[in-house]
Amino acid sequence: MLDQLGNLASGILVTEFDNITGYGDKVAELNLISGYLGESIGTLNILINQSYALGTGSIESNGRVVPPLKDEEASIMAKMYMKDYYYKLARNTLRGLATYSPSSAPTSADLWTEVREGDSFIRRIPLVASPTVKERSARVINDLAKDMQKDLEKMVHYYNMYGALPRQVFGTDVYNAWGNYIESPGNYGKYGNY
């Protein structure tokens, strides 16, 4: 049975990473997301001036968020995850450009993309993205991260100023990674068998 952060991670996995289909891949990604969420409780507290914690000690509270997150806080955490995910993806995309080594330099076999002779030609798709393509891709991904950052700042502002409900990123009508209905991210109801 998943705890609250596990259900939130499952919701993020289903809505944002629906391209992950294998059971093992889903479990691995779910562990990464829920691990991030657990480690980011302190950041959430700083952003929204609250005092959430991961429970320790008793069996009932061990590893659960105390007090339980409501929908607003869960939405902010989901936005935090997506922002950091895109920043990390942009960094990893650029990683190959920043560390040049002769072994990573393209060979003459890597440089051609088309050969023509008379009316016939052969066109191949490069196996490795060119530095220009990587740079453009990283720029687009970084722009996504900046958009997430702006949305996060707006959500946190409204939360802190008005106690207003941000537009939901993680709703109460969500299914987890295994297709089981989640009643609400803020409630510890019956979540089905895992």
- Mean local confidence (pLDDT), 52-79: 84
Q: Is the pTM of this model over 0.85?
A: no
Query: Which of these ranges, 48-52, 100-104, 131-135, has the smallest mean pLDDT?
Result: 100-104
Among the listed residues 76, 102, 91, the one whose alpha carbon sits nearest the alpha carbon of residue 135:
91
Greater confidence (105 vs 193) lies with 105
Identify whether the C-beta of residue 175 lies closer than 8 Å to the C-beta of residue 181.
yes
**What pLDDT is stored for residue 117 in this prediction?**
84
Q: What would the mean pLDDT of 105-130 be, rounded to a whole number?
A: 70
When pLDDT is averaged across residues 49-76 and rounded to a whole number, the result is: 83
Task: Name the nearest CA neighbour of 34 among 149, 146, 185.
Answer: 185
8 Å CB contact between 74 and 82: no
What are the structural domain ranges in the chain? Answer: 4-90+153-182
pLDDT tens for 145-162 read 999 999 999 999 999 987
Q: What per-residue confidence (pLDDT) applies to 170? A: 52
